[in-house]
Structure 1
Amino acid sequence: MPQLNQPCSKHFTYRQLIECGETWQSSSIDNLPLADESWQALVDLATYILDPVYEQFGALEITYGFCSPTLATARKKLAKEQGVLPSIYPKLDQHSCFEKNRKGDIICSRGGSACDFHVPDTSSLEVTTWIVKQLPFDRLYFYGHDKPIHVSYNRDSQNAVICIMTPKTNGQGYIPRNLTPERFLEQFQL
């Protein structure tokens, strides 16, 4: 098992991908990956997505990274206390990498790894457009110009699915709309 302060890529450490986000900061629970494949998935995400974004735009802030089952439970509890939806779906969102549930099944069958991040003082649309044009991602969720971007990487599958997340009128949750990279660029080109 790597040390948390050990680099997992040119610009990032494991700690930056594991000890981040509101839930972890408020609880500081043990959020370490148990599966060797999860550690490698974090390396891949940092190497193929986060490093190139860093080199293009400068420092970025990871708002939600790796999510162990313990952190997912804490996130759901915190959301309930705050009276909001937890805005996570471990079976699909790839934050759990290759971790397993209590039954021994992989939590997210999509594999790979995901994180949410934003680049200070830069529109998320500009960053998203650059990623769509330049990088081999699996899934990307775009929430808006001033919101963090969710992006995943899976070395076995770069599906390049872009999901536009439109807030529901009641403010609780999002309505997803999937686009191909071509359709995204047609609709959102800067």
Structure 2
Amino acid sequence: MNRVEKFQLSQLLGQYLSLEEFCTCTQTYQKYVDRIDPYPKNLEETIPALEALCQHILAPVIAHFGRERFQLTYGFCSKDLKRFLSQKDPETGIKNGRVDPSRDQHMAHEKNRNGKYYCDRLGAACDFRIVGMESDRLVEWILEQRLPFDSLYYYGSDRPIHISYGSQHKRDIWTFTGRGVPTRKGIERWLEQVEPRF
């Protein structure tokens, strides 16, 4: 029995989400299910980081909007999943997904073969949407509730948001140009709601 089995895949990371859900929700995993190990290896550090994300960010969201409307689209990123996300689909030639492990916190506290964290920012991240709600309204609700996020990425009103929880609680908000370049243009109203950092 490996360490993930000992943790039990059905065990909840918080009130609502299991480790299995958090690790197997991506379309890329579903496409290559027999070739990807989606689970963390550094359980001692990664599981508490995922639990903190669920407790401080996702539990309040789900409690307010309802479990049936909450749709997790990208949770934890394992080393195997990272590899497949960065590859192109052999049939379509389109990249499976976007991945930026050094910054996006989806790999939580996982370490590379040299014992270094993939993401020095630590913490954990996920992407989700609320079914039937535009994502700009979701961002506004998160800001009104003063949730202690680290980074929030807004990709458009009809797309999921990315949110992370980590010890820095930077409350950084970014959106992206049509070419995928990070910008703060167009989200000034949200930036005004975020407390200044000292």
Judge conservation of contact 1:129–1:185 (CA < 8 Å) in 2.
no
Q: For residue 38 of structure 2, what is the amino acid of its counterpart?
A: N
Aligned: 1:75 with 2:93: no
Q: What's the CA shift for 1:186?
A: 5.1
- Corresponding residue pairs, total: 180
Using the alignment, how far apart are the partners of 2:188 and 2:66 within structure 1? 26
Secondary structure of 1:11's counterpart equals: coil
Larger Cα-atom Rg: 2
Secondary structure of 1:163's counterpart equals: strand
Give 1:69-148 correspondences, 5 Å limit. 69-78=79-88, 82-85=92-95, 86-134=97-145, 135-148=147-160
Q: What value does the CA root-mean-square deviation take over the aligned residues? A: 2.0
After superposing the two structures, state which structure 1 stretch, 139-148 or 98-107, moved more.
98-107
Judge conservation of contact 2:9–2:19 (CA < 8 Å) in 1.
yes
Aligned: 1:184 with 2:186: no
Structure 2: runs of 5 or more not aligned = 194-198
Which residue matches 1:31?
A: 38
Judge conservation of contact 1:63–1:117 (CA < 8 Å) in 2.
yes
Aligned: 1:18 with 2:23: yes
Aligned: 1:7 with 2:12: yes
Judge conservation of contact 1:90–1:108 (CA < 8 Å) in 2.
yes
Which residue matches 1:171?
A: none
TM-score, with structure 2 as normaliser: 0.84
TM-score, with structure 1 as normaliser: 0.87
Judge conservation of contact 1:23–1:78 (CA < 8 Å) in 2.
no
Query: 1:101-139: per-residue Cα shift (whole Å, max 9, x none)?
Result: 122210001100000011110111111111122210000
Query: 1:165-187: per-residue Cα shift (whole Å, max 9, x none)?
Result: 2222xxxxx121148x9742559
Query: 1:60-119: per-residue Cα shift (whole Å, max 9, x none)?
Result: 111111001111001112457643453210110000001011222100011000000111
Q: For residue 126 of structure 1, what is the amino acid of its counterpart?
A: R
**Per the alignment, do residues 32 and 101 of structure 1 end up closer, same or farther by CA in structure 2, a change over 3 Å counting?**
same
Secondary structure of 1:167's counterpart equals: coil
After superposing the two structures, state which structure 1 stretch, 112-121 or 130-139, moved more.
130-139
Judge conservation of contact 1:161–1:178 (CA < 8 Å) in 2.
no
Q: For residue 71 of structure 2, what is the amino acid of its counterpart?
A: E
Query: 1:132-175: per-residue Cα shift (whole Å, max 9, x none)?
Result: 22210000000011001000001x2100000112222xxxxx12
Structure 1: runs of 5 or more not aligned = 169-173
Judge conservation of contact 2:85–2:98 (CA < 8 Å) in 1.
no
Aligned: 1:165 with 2:176: yes
